[in-house]
Each structure stands twice: as C-alpha cells, then as structure tokens.
Structure 1
Amino acid sequence: MEFDGQVALVTGSTAGIGREVARLLARGGARVVVTGRDAARGAGTVASIEAEGGRARFVAADLADLGSVRALAAAVGEVDVLVNNAAVFPFAATAEQDAEGFRRLFDVNVRGPFFLTAALLPGMAARGRGSVVNVSTSLTHVPVPGGAVYAATKAALESLTRTWAVEFRGTGVRVNAVAPGATETGTALALNPGSVAEVGRAAPIGRPATPREIAEAVVFLASPRAAYVHGELLLADGGRTLS
C-alpha cells in the first residue's frame, strides 16, 4: 500500500473531510494521528479506522491555542504526511465582523497551521521525504457576501503553500493545497443546508461534493502518485470557478 510505514497527521479529523482523509490514509497503510477538540468524536474516528483494519490514535488539540499546537507537534514526533484541514468558518458581513471572531478565524485557520508546519516540516526535510497538504476553499476564487475574513484566511494558507514549496525546495518534501467547493459536511449542512445545495447546483457538475470526494483529492496529493506535483492548488469545486 502506498502509505505503508508512514505516519500521517490530519488536523480536524474527528468529522467531515478530515475524518474521510484519515480513513483513506489508514486504508493506504498509514498510521494515522487523529486530532481535534472533541475526544468523543476523535474516539469514534479511531474506532472506525480500526474496524477497517487500520491503525490510528487520537491526540486532543485546539489550533486556536498555540501551546496546544506545540504540544501536538511534540506528541506526534516524526510525521511523513501532514494534512492541515482544521478550520472555523463563521461568516459575517464586513461591517458586522467583531474583532474576537476575526482573531479566532486567523488563529485557527492561519496561525495554527503555520506553527504546526513550522514544527514538523524541518524533520521531514531532514529525512528527505514528506508531504504537506493544506485544505483551502474555492471561496478564494468565487467570493460570497459574508465570507471576507474566512476567504482571507484561506488565501493566506494558499500563499503559505507556495512559499513553503519554494522555501523547502530540493529537500524531498512536497507542499500542495486543495480548494473544495460546496461540500456536504455536517458542519456546513447544520449552518445552512440550503446554501450548500444551491452552490452545488450552480457548479457545472450540478451538485455539492461529498466529504469522501474531497478526501480523495487530498490523499492523491499526499501520495506518490503526485510525486511531481509541488506548490500547486487543486480546485475540487465541480467546475464552480468556471461558471
């Protein structure tokens, strides 16, 4: 299997896209570190992986807390695959955005992935191998009202993807990103199920994505099948940016 002998860390993997990424990586032979704030949901993800014959463990972490990010990096140790998936996305009109919500969006979506990657990527480089996949959003390309701060955090993550690809050139480490379109995650559906369906129908493919479909794109970029893909953004949005 293509991830045999590898350790994969997937942030925000207790539900949604991250959970499906963790399951697919485990099916590919990786030992997966599941992480998030909810221990019960984390245990559920680990149990689902083990039920399929995979290997996984849960490490609690809150990406809004820099100390928790550093503790996560220390607890995990050497990692071969890092998927920066965890994010928060409360929408607000620009004139109504409060400073605390603004700060939390950047803490979780940008600062957390930055310092987690900063802690783990040098070890990958020293071993001469590794893959980082950042999960962005198609809203950096197709803006929507109320999504200003969320899209800005993901645009920053896309910029980090390109910078890290250049900064760690020649080390054997690849860094890429996936930008999902409307996806039927539990969180998105709980916030606004009508919007998910509407945006999905607006895409040329005519429907929203399932978490598994986005996870397949993430795992492809992490795998040896994408060995010559580096510093790229894969739009997994059903063609929404074309319409």
Structure 2
Amino acid sequence: MDLRMRDKRYVLIGGTAGMGSATGQVLAGEGASMVLIGRDESKAQDAARAAEESGATKAYGIARDVSAPGGAREAVDTAAELLGGIDGLAVTMGTEGMVPVESSDDVWTSAFRDVLLATTRSVEAALPHLKKTRGTVVTTAAYSIRSPEIARLPYASLKGGVAVFTKGIAKTYGKDGIRANCVCPGAVETAPLAALRVQLAEQRGYPVETALERVMVEEWGFDAALGRPGKPEEIGELIAFLLSPRAGYLTGSLINIDGGTNF
C-alpha cells in the first residue's frame, strides 16, 4: 500500500533506536523526509544515514535531550527549520519508569521527565507547526496501562498519563485538522531483549531462536496469543500508518499492539 508520504516531513523523537528507528525505515521506504532525534549524536547520524540509504528524500540526525528544560522545543524547532515544516511527529521514547513504586522522589521525578514530560513538551512544541500543515501526532504508551504491575508501577502510571494527554490533544486540536493517536506496545524485542535472547540461550542451552520465548512463557508467565515478543518493525509499520494520510479519519484512538497479551 502506498501510504502517500512521499516528500512529507516527519520528526521522530526517539528515532535513533528500537521502534523509532524502525518507524524511520518505513517512512524512508515511502520517500518521506525526516529528522531523527535521540540523545546520542553518533546513533542519530547512523540512523539518518540508514534512512537515506532506504530511500528517504532527506534525513537528518540530531542529538537532543527532550526531557531537559527547553530541550523539546529546541529539538522540534531545529527539525522544522531543517525540513522547512513538519507534517507529523512521533514520540517513541520514555523507559526510565521501569522502577519499583518505592523508589525515591528523585527517581520518580526522573521517570516523570523521561516518560511523560518529554512527550507532552515535544507535542506542545510541534503544535504550532502542525497547525500549518494539518499534521499528525503519534505517541507511545504501553499495554501495561491496562494491567499495571507493582514492580513497574511508575512506568505504567506515567504511560497512562501519555494516553490521556494524547486523547486531549485529539479532542482539542481536531478543529485544526490535527490527528493524534496513541500506540500501546506489548513486549517488543528491541536491543535489550535481543541481547537477553543470546544470553539466555547460552545460560540454558536453548536454541537462540526460541530461548527468549521459552523463558518468557515458562518462567515469567508471559501469556500472549502469539506466544512471542513483537518486532520493532511491526510497531514501526503501525506508527507509520497512523502518521500517514491513509489514516485520515483515525484520531483519539488508543491502539494495542501486543500480540494478544492476556491482561
């Protein structure tokens, strides 16, 4: 399917790795232009080169910390200047909240900035640009907002805030032609889980291709209809669709992509 994204301009916060990088690859294949934003300069440059090699009209990588005061606005405004405008924004970062509820105030505050504030500030910074283009927003929450676990309650609580915030953006700015949707991934085999797969295979003597799934099901109680973690590219394809004109009547939605995880 042609997503009608050729020469469209997108900003991917967290676009230098994992689901964000995978989204960039889909957009590149559609001939879009993009700015990929992460904290590491070398990763940002590598991601931009990979996007251009995959067909992006233009791709830039910049290093910014959008959780820092003023960081999101600087990143988004820089991206808008590089691209000559913005047609869509996706935020795929925010993992610091994977800590127990008993964590200190400093840890909670750091999680708040990384998981929730980085998203809200990035979207707020993009809104003036998106009003000009009747653009799109995609944020990422998590399947665990429906079934929070005490071991990672700060994460689920703050991701719940992302979902509510996104719904509010959709309701408020729909009159300006802006669409906003929130994706809720389940377990996804980004770099940390991919590394764990190899480690578990060596420790347990399992084949690499099944080691992670066996441990997740047999030891962790992972209960998903598909019996496996998702792949970053599977999430990237959904995010790209939501950013595209093909999803033109879809807004304010909270979309699970979790392999049928049993809450």
Q: Same fold (TM over 0.5)?
A: yes
Give the aligned residue type for 1:69: A
Residue 155, structure 1, aligned to residue 160, structure 2: yes
Residue 86, structure 1, aligned to residue 107, structure 2: no
- What do the CA deviations read for 1:204-231 (whole angstroms, capped 9, x no partner)? 1111101001111111111122111110
* TM-score between the two structures when normalised by the length of structure 1: 0.91
Distance 1:240 1:72 in 2: 35
Give the aligned residue type for 1:29: G
Secondary structure of 1:178's partner?
Answer: strand
Q: Is the 8 A contact 1:5 1:29 kept in 2?
A: yes
The match for 1:38 is: 40
Residue 133, structure 1, aligned to residue 138, structure 2: yes
Distance 1:123 1:92 in 2: 35
The match for 1:15 is: 17
Distance 2:70 2:193 in 1: 28
Distance 1:99 1:189 in 2: 31
Distance 2:110 2:59 in 1: 29
Secondary structure of 1:79's partner?
Answer: coil
Q: CA RMSD in A?
A: 2.1
Mark the CA change 1:51 to 1:169 in structure 2 (over 3 Å): closer, same or farther: closer
The match for 2:188 is: 183
Distance 1:238 1:157 in 2: 21
Q: Is the 8 A contact 1:12 1:35 kept in 2?
A: yes
Aligned with 2:72 (options 69, 75, 82): 69
Alignment: residue pair count? 240
Mark the CA change 1:66 to 1:190 in structure 2 (over 3 Å): closer, same or farther: farther
Residue 146, structure 1, aligned to residue 176, structure 2: no
Mark the CA change 1:124 to 1:79 in structure 2 (over 3 Å): closer, same or farther: same
Q: Is the 8 A contact 2:97 2:154 kept in 1?
A: no
Mark the CA change 1:53 to 1:28 in structure 2 (over 3 Å): closer, same or farther: closer
Distance 1:161 1:84 in 2: 11
Aligned with 1:170 (options 150, 168, 175): 175
Mark the CA change 1:191 to 1:136 in structure 2 (over 3 Å): closer, same or farther: farther
Q: Is the 8 A contact 2:97 2:115 kept in 1?
A: no
Residue 105, structure 1, aligned to residue 111, structure 2: yes
Aligned with 2:260 (options 234, 239, 242): 239
Give the aligned residue type for 2:150: P
Mark the CA change 1:147 to 1:191 in structure 2 (over 3 Å): closer, same or farther: farther
Secondary structure of 1:169's partner?
Answer: helix
Distance 1:225 1:205 in 2: 27
Give the aligned residue type for 1:232: S
Shift of 1:72: 0.7
Bigger Rg, which one? 2
Distance 1:220 1:120 in 2: 19
Q: Is the 8 A contact 1:183 1:196 kept in 2?
A: no
Secondary structure of 1:132's partner?
Answer: strand
Q: Is the 8 A contact 1:182 1:196 kept in 2?
A: no
Consecutive unaligned residues in structure 1, runs of 5 or more: none
Q: Is the 8 A contact 1:8 1:32 kept in 2?
A: yes
Distance 2:169 2:12 in 1: 18
Aligned with 1:228 (options 224, 231, 249): 249
Secondary structure of 2:175's partner?
Answer: coil
Shift of 1:53: 2.7
* TM-score between the two structures when normalised by the length of structure 2: 0.85
